[in-house]
């Protein structure tokens, strides 16, 4: 799983990882933290009328995630796929808490989701992330800048305050959730090399702890 603020370089890295794992012959499934059309419609209506409280906003996203989790993520994990996710439950933990939900409550809502083998956290100062975003497109997005929180009328200032709070939340989770921290200011190749080294540790893990196949057990037993 990859986590970090927008512009931290997550997507770039997870795509490279995806290609590499496929080239090794592994079965890979890639999933993104994208809201379904239903949730997008409700949140945009709610935004206009200021109808959604932090709790309802959070539950809408959780419903959306639960649907993806049960349809795709969980069955594919059970089938032995390598599941790569561009943002996972930690995104909800940071965003919902910054919007006013209780951290313990949000974690409980998402407690059905499996803990990843590795969560890469891309650490970058918000200023660098914003520069990268604005190189690609002319404007910041409404939610990306946290404009719904009325932090400032200036969207750049709002972005700095909002993303700064998101970073604080991520940083508070580094130890607790055993994030593998990647310095997002490093070059693309260097980051990818570091990630591959970590992933190799997981995919080369001995499978000795698994029960022996039935045939073998029978042959060696009675
Ligand atoms: P995210 O998925 O975290 O929003 P992206 O991977 O989409 O970030 O990267 C955001 C922008 O920054 C893209 O234009 C990308 O090409 C650029 N970028 C990604 N990694 C780096 C890096 N290590 N150094 C400089 N620019 C980068």
> Is residue 213 included in any domain, yes or no?
no
> Is residue 219 included in any domain, yes or no?
no
Judged against a pLDDT cut of 80, whether residue 74 lies above it is answered with yes
56 C-beta neighbours (distance < 10 Å), count: 12
> Is residue 212 included in any domain, yes or no?
no
- Going by pLDDT thresholds of 50, 70 and 90, the confidence category of residue 213 is low
- Which atom number of ligand 1 is nearest to the Cα of residue 184? 23
> Is residue 119 included in any domain, yes or no?
yes
Residue whose C-alpha is closest to residue 7's, from 132, 91, 94, 119? 132
Nearest CA to ligand 1 atom 19: 9
Counting the structural domains of the chain, the total is: 1
Looking at residue 85, which CATH number applies to its domain? Answer: 3.40.50.300
What's residue 142's pLDDT?
87
Judged against a pLDDT cut of 60, whether residue 209 lies above it is answered with no
> Is residue 220 included in any domain, yes or no?
no
> Is residue 222 included in any domain, yes or no?
no
Judged against a pLDDT cut of 90, whether residue 193 lies above it is answered with yes
DSSP string, 73-86: IHHHHHTT-EEEEE
> What residues line ligand 1, using a CB cutoff of 6 Å?
4, 6-12, 132, 136, 187-188, 191
What's residue 47's pLDDT?
65
What's residue 48's pLDDT?
63
- Domain hosting residue 119, numbered range: 2-203
Query: What pTM was computed for the model?
Result: 0.88
Higher pLDDT, residue 159 or 36: 159
Q: Which of 36-40, 79-83, 217-221 has the lowest mean pLDDT?
A: 217-221
């Amino acid at each position: 799983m990859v986590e970090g603020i927008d512009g931290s370089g997550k997507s770039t890295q997870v795509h490279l990882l995806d290609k590499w794992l496929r080239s090794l012959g592994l079965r890979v499934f890639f999933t993104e933290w994208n809201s379904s059309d239903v949730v997008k419609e409700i949140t945009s209506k709610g935004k206009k009328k200021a109808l959604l409280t932090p709790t309802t906003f959070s539950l809408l996203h959780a419903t959306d995630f639960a649907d993806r989790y049960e349809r795709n993520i969980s069955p594919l994990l059970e089938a032995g796929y390598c599941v790569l996710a561009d943002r996972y439950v930690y995104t909800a933990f940071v965003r919902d808490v910054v919007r006013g939900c209780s951290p313990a409550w949000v974690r409980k809502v998402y407690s059905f989701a499996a803990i990843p083998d590795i969560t890469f956290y891309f650490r970058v100062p918000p200023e660098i992330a914003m520069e990268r975003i604005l190189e690609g497109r002319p404007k910041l997005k409404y939610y990306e800048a946290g404009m719904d929180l009325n932090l400032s009328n200036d969207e750049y200032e709002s972005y700095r305050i909002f993303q700064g709070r998101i970073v604080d939340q991520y940083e508070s989770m580094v130890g607790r959730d055993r994030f593998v921290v990647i310095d997002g200011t490093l070059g693309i190749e260097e980051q990818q090399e570091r990630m591959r080294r970590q992933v190799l540790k997981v995919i080369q893990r001995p499978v000795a702890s698994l029960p022996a196949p039935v045939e073998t057990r029978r042959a060696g037993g009675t």
